[in-house]
Amino acid sequence: QVQLVQSGAEVEKPGASVKVSCKASGYTFAGYYLHWVRQAPGQGLEWMGWFNPDSGGTEFAQKFQGRVTMTGDTSISTGYMELRRLRSDDTAVYYCARQSWSFDIVTGYGPFDIWGQGTLVTVSS
């Protein structure tokens, strides 16, 4: 069964850091880009960035550059997203998602076909 299982809920104080994990199973972790998407309470989906488990390469949304790190460990099929200098408006559910295929000139970028269950991160003093 192809799935992504994320770590549990976190409560952090402003200024702290949080690291969320995303464990893949049922497929070759290194073969698919892993994205991170967050959703603030009652809001829409906000893309944060991607991680290429094969090369270790990353790409981040501009608003998160300098504050986010995305890494992975192919030996345990797990990706990680760390967000630093947390603020109250970082309170959100954070999702990891698998990109179904890499870019193809004919079919474009692959959509997100597998999602983790989400990790609630609460930032509060």
Partner 1 sequence: EIVLTQSPATLSLSPGERATLSCRASQSIGNYLAWYQQKPGQAPRLLMYDASNRATGIPARFSGSGSGTDFTLTISSLEPEDFAVYYCQQRRKWPPVTFGQGTRLEIK
Judged by the rule CB under 8 A, the positions of this chain that interact with partner 1 are 35, 44-47, 49-50, 59-62, 95, 97, 100, 103, 107-113, 115-118
Q: Give the residue with the Cβ less far from partner 1, 42 or 75.
A: 42
Nearer residue to partner 1 within complex by CB, 15 or 57: 57
Cβ nearer to partner 1, comparing 17 with 43: 43
Name the minimum Å distance from CB 114 to partner 1: 8
> In the complex with partner 1, which residue's Cβ is closer, 74 or 101?
101
Least Å distance, CB 13 to partner 1, is 26
Contact 120, 104 (CB under 8 A): no
CB 97 → partner 1: shortest distance, Å? 8
Number of other CB atoms surrounding residue 90 within 10 Å: 20
CA–CA separation, 6 vs 23, rounded Å? 6
Least distance in Å: CB of 30 to partner 1? 20
The CA–CA distances, whole Å, from 54 to 10, 32, 34, 57, 104 equal: 28, 8, 10, 8, 17
> Which residue, among 89, 95, 79, 85, has the nearest Cα to 38 in the 3D structure?
95
Residue 125 identity (one-letter amino acid)? S
